[in-house]
Amino acid sequence: MNNEVIKCVDLVKTYNMGQVNEYRALKGINLTIKEGDFISIIGSSGSGKSTLLNLISCLDTPTSGDVYVDGTALSQLGDNDRARLRNKKLGFIFQQFNLLRGMTAYENVELTMRFAGIGKKERNEKVLELLKKVGLESKAKNRPTEMSGGEQQRVAIARALANDPRIILGDEPTGNLDTTTGATIMELLTELNQDQGKTLVMVTHDPAIAKKAHRTVKIKDGKLEEEVRGALIGNHNGDDLPHRKTIIKK
């Protein structure tokens, strides 16, 4: 269970704005995430959290350095292979849900399964099972505009789970939710980690998430500033982690 599922090596991301204007959003990030880990990424607004998550999620490419998913360097894959890997292994919950507005809850959850070529009957069973899991069976036919923020977020979570990914990445998954709904979502995510061994990578400002995570890393000004390890309660495979808070200066 100690496979390295994600490895970031010397990740640099520079955004070009016009010809002379550059901004180094990530300045050399090294981070290894093991199978079954639950890691939270914290840091102030603009520190580079979403940028890092987008690189891990293959939604964007680094300026230099590389991300390895299950030992495969993303830079070595063509666009099609990268899209396939993303669809098969990774599930995302975005900062702004990103549900397709013209589609119902059902259709939003079903979509990635259609891309993966899964047959209609199997899709139907899975979509209904997932909507039930997030408590939204009765909203299957609603469109995003006909649902509350918390309901949309739950659809986004059901969608992230549709292809049964081993790695789930979230960018502020509870950021737009009230405390109670946020806690329900957290329970669901924690269950996926504890019961199914899914690897969770969550960007968050929410101390409740950071508390549940096995590891918390802090990004400051594009650098991994420190790694705080702890909160081992409920960590089913944390046998190799130290039991004290450890700060690793980068």
CB distance 70 to 32 below 8 Å: no
Terminal C-alpha separation, the chain: 26
Using CB under 6 A as the binding rule, whether residue 150 contacts ligand ATP is answered as no
- Of 50, 54, 153, 163, which lies in the binding site for Mg ion, with binding defined by CB under 5 A? 50
Of all residues in the shown chain, the one whose CB is closest to Mg ion is 50
If binding is defined by CB under 6 A, does position 57 make contact with ligand ATP?
no
CB of 39 to Mg ion, least distance (A): 16
Residue 193, amino acid: N
Instruction: Look up residue 136 and give its amino acid.
Output: L
Residue 51 binding Mg ion, by CB under 5 A: no
Backbone angles phi, psi at 145, to 5 degrees: -65, -15
Q: Which of 5, 6, 8, 25 binds ligand ATP (CB under 6 A)?
A: 25
207 touches ligand ATP by CB under 6 A = no
Q: Which is nearer to ligand ATP, 95 or 181 (CB)?
A: 95
Pick the closest to residue 211 from 192, 188, 235, 195 (CA basis): 235
Counting residues that bind ligand ATP (by CB under 6 A) gives 12
Give the burial class of 26: count Cβ atoms within 10 A of its Cβ; 0-12 exposed, 13-18 middle, 19 or more buried.
buried
Residues forming the site for ligand ATP (CB under 6 A): 15, 17, 23, 25, 43, 45-51
